[in-house]
C-alpha cells in the first residue's frame, strides 16, 4: 500500500511529509494506515488497540455503520468488514448475518463496532439490547463476542469495559 506524499521516518512507525498535504490527504493517509493495521494476520492484544484502529475508520462517517472485526483463536485478524450501513441516527442490523460471516470466515471471536455520527459514543438502550442479542446468537455457534465498541468523534466506549456484555 502506498502512502500518498509520505516517506518513512528515521524511527520505526514514523513518517515524513514530502510535500504539502491537505486535511483530506491526512484523513486518507490515516485511513490507509488504520486499514493496514487491521490486515489479515495482525494480532489484536487489547480493546484499547482495537478501539484506536477502528475509531480512525468510523468516527467521521455521516451515517451509522456497523462492522465486525473477525478474529481467530489467537486473536489475529481474519477480516474487518463493514456489514451494515444506516441513516444519520440508526442502522438495521441483523445478528444472523453477522453469525453467517463469522461461520464463513471460521472466526473464533469477534469485536463488533459501530459509530454514532453525532460524535457522542455513549451506547443507547437499543445498542445494549442488540449487543445481548448478538452475543447470544454468536454463542449458539461457539463464537465469542469479545466486545462491542461504539465510536464517536469524542471517543470510543467499550461495552465490555462497562460490563454490558
For residue range 112-165, list pLDDT tens digits in order.
Answer: 999 999 889 999 999 999 999 999 999 999 999 999 999 988 899 999 999 998
Among 12-16, 53-57, 78-82, where is mean pLDDT lowest? 12-16
**pLDDT score recorded for residue 132:** 97
Q: How far is CA 38 from CA 8, 80, 114, in A?
A: 20, 7, 16
Could you report the per-residue pLDDT of 1-34, keeping only the tens digit for each? 455 566 777 887 777 777 777 777 766 766 666 6
The β-bridge relationship of strands 77-85 and 109-115 is unpaired
**pLDDT score recorded for residue 1:** 45
Among 15-19, 95-99, 103-107, 108-112, where is mean pLDDT lowest? 15-19
**pLDDT score recorded for residue 26:** 67
Query: Which CATH number does the domain 43-158 belong to among 3.40.50.2300, 1.10.1760.20, 3.40.140.10, 3.40.800.20?
Result: 3.40.140.10
Positions of CATH 3.40.140.10 in the chain: 43-158
Q: Decide: helix, strand or coil at residue 134.
A: helix
Residue 49 and residue 69 in contact, taking contact as beta carbons nearer than 8 Å: no
Burial of 145 (0-12, 13-18, 19+ CB in 10 A): buried
- Is residue 37 scored above 70 in pLDDT? no
Average pLDDT over residues 38-59: 80
**pLDDT score recorded for residue 50:** 86
Which pLDDT band, with edges at 50, 70 and 90, does 106 fall under? very high
Amino acid at each position: 500500500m502506498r502512502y500518498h506524499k509520505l516517506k518513512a521516518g528515521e524511527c520505526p512507525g514514523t513518517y515524513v511529509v514530502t510535500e504539502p498535504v491537505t486535511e483530506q490527504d491526512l484523513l486518507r493517509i490515516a485511513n490507509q494506515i488504520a486499514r493496514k493495521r487491521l490486515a489479515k494476520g495482525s494480532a489484536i492484544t487489547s480493546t484499547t488497540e482495537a478501539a484506536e484502529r477502528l475509531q480512525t475508520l468510523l468516527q467521521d462517517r455521516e451515517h451509522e455503520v456497523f462492522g465486525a472485526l473477525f478474529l481467530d483463536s489467537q486473536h489475529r485478524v481474519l477480516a474487518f468488514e463493514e456489514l451494515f450501513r444506516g441513516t444519520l441516527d440508526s442502522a438495521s442490523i441483523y445478528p444472523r448475518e453477522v453469525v453467517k460471516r463469522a461461520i464463513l470466515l471460521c472466526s473464533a471471536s469477534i469485536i463488533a463496532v459501530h459509530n454514532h455520527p453525532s460524535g457522542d459514543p455513549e451506547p443507547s438502550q437499543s445498542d445494549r439490547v442488540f449487543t445481548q442479542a448478538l452475543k447470544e446468537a454468536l454463542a449458539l455457534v461457539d463464537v465469542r463476542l469479545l466486545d462491542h465498541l461504539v465510536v464517536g468523534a469524542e471517543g470510543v466506549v467499550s461495552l465490555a469495559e462497562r460490563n454490558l456484555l
